[in-house]
Structure 1
């Protein structure tokens, strides 16, 4: 029994190993080729970018854990950012109202996604793509009514570019979100039930867990995380545009998968997903510092993502399972003829 539990633990943990190896190898390459990427100035610029991607990736991770995928990230982030500008109108007094409105709209978007996927049983890829286009249209129409010179409230802009203990405020927010999500998923009844829904929906249904409710919750909380990332990004750049979320379509999916999540649903790791976000962001920064053209940066970044998905958690875990089964298989008994020959 103990051996079985140990083997299960080894198999589950093995899916999170590649992302840490990838980070180690990337740092070695950086130290050899472009050590300036890890300089204090460059690194302090990188950390907020890590947080933006990590927060969005954690939202995507929740959806992936239910066996779905969410393509609405870029436009939810953009709409949230534009609402900070539009509702906030550059006034510190209206910042709280703007944040509440942005999160409320994100809640509604997540609710629509979750309802269409869990209740109507529609394909999550198509649903979230369609909803994303609707949100995109709303963002364009909304942005047209926002004054060109409008910016985010100064208090948000100043806070977003500030530091605590020499580390970006935004990065601290990312850490807090990661810690809270880890605690909720690991140590609460709701968190364990949510993981059960993704790992084995049929078994979860048999024990009375409301699967539809948990799937809807995944999309709702994911959308709110996208909105938080958009709000923070708006504060960081000061004057957000309609292209704000464009680079957050593929990267959060890649971070979730490279971090060990399975696209068919199941367990995932908050910490490993954040580590994958760090890897992708640091890789992107290294490519920029090396002076590669935008075209070559896209090529290199895409190849890295494909490579990461090739050694993703699913493939690793299957390989480990095969290895453990081969090691645990008993040796075939010798034939009677062989025994007689030895005698």
Structure 2
């Protein structure tokens, strides 16, 4: 036993391996400060570049097709006239980001216009008392849409289309086919008057103000980031503790309220209520949102792109009107633009997925 113990080999010590790097190239340490201008530009989604490129093309076409196409005063007036579309496009973008669609915004605009004229005809009425009622009615219609789509499996396309039919029927029954009322002078001033003598109306400021506020909420708040997360992947957002149904309700309530504001701006421009004046805005708001980079699959979109989409439609419509193109043909053009932008956005999404 002693001899065996003496012959026993001592335990091997583990060799410590020291790994040395042969790469002596200095590595760039990332900056801890705010991102540079180039980095911020690189982060801008590609669809927004496409939207503003299309805006520049339409602006160039407008300038070449008319004698005073590049006149700043005229361009500001064109954007002022597009304020109703701009406001309802904000509403549509919110719903599309939430993976929805709202085809009832056009009839809601008609309802808001009819209700504004009817309430303004009453004695002692003022905008301070009329506008809150109109906006609440629009938000109420949006709430019905939200409850229907958040707590059932009805597709947004069919659900909001059915609501649009209901609202149109109610408008026809209440007005008996002949809307009546008065458009107050201060409301007309909202559309026709100039601000500080500049060639744009207060309605343009309303549109831009809403654009900035909604854009800041979406990009700088936790609720805004959760809102986009719900649209991108509702199940993953729900598993993360995000109240998916609450965000869906918020999207459609905001859509109804904003559509009502757009209806008020519409009657300020037209000067009289109508049963059909807002019908075309449902399609045009979808076109503007899609041109601006909003994905119908949800989760993508923003107010910067939506502004470009509205500008494209405004300038393109002015060009078509300058050539006396009929309204049906203009609808065809808008539809073709929508199809092309859907194809472009889908192709860009495929490329991003491959990376």
Q: TM-score, normalised by structure 1?
A: 0.85
Structure 1 equivalent of residue 160 of structure 2? 128
The CA distance in 2 between the partners of 1:268 and 1:147, in whole Å, is 37
The CA distance in 1 between the partners of 2:107 and 2:264, in whole Å, is 12
Structure 2 equivalent of residue 334 of structure 1? none
The CA distance in 2 between the partners of 1:106 and 1:147, in whole Å, is 18
Moved over 6 A (4+): none
- Structure exhibiting the larger radius of gyration computed from Cα positions: 2
Structure 2 equivalent of residue 204 of structure 1? 237
| 1:243 corresponds to 2:281 | no
Q: CA deviation at 1:144?
A: 3.1
Match among 182, 194, 202 for residue 151 of structure 1: 182
Q: RMSD of the TM alignment (CA)? A: 2.6
1:69-218 maps to which residues of 2 (within 5 A)? 69-89=101-121, 93-144=125-176, 148=180, 150-165=181-196, 166=198, 167-218=200-251
Q: CA deviation at 1:116?
A: 0.7
* CA displacement, residues 153-202 of structure 1 (integer Å, 9 cap, x when unaligned): 22212233112141211111011000100111111221121111112222
Q: CA deviation at 1:274?
A: 1.1
The CA distance in 2 between the partners of 1:273 and 1:72, in whole Å, is 19
Flag the structure with higher helix content.
1
- Stretches of structure 2 that go unaligned for 5 or more consecutive residues are 1-29, 31-37
1:69/1:179 CA distance change after superposition, 3 Å: same
Q: TM-score, normalised by structure 2?
A: 0.83
The CA distance in 2 between the partners of 1:105 and 1:65, in whole Å, is 23
* CA displacement, residues 46-82 of structure 1 (integer Å, 9 cap, x when unaligned): 1223221111111011111111111101100000110
Q: CA deviation at 1:321?
A: 4.3
1:21-40 maps to which residues of 2 (within 5 A)? 21-39=53-71
Q: Is the 8 A contact 1:78 1:245 kept in 2?
A: yes
The CA distance in 1 between the partners of 2:99 and 2:343, in whole Å, is 19
The CA distance in 2 between the partners of 1:38 and 1:293, in whole Å, is 24
Q: Report the number of matched residues.
A: 319
Match among 278, 288, 303 for residue 255 of structure 1: 288
Structure 2 equivalent of residue 287 of structure 1? 320
- Stretches of structure 1 that go unaligned for 5 or more consecutive residues are 326-343
- In terms of mean alpha carbon deviation, does 38-47 or 65-74 score higher? 38-47
Q: CA deviation at 1:319?
A: 2.3
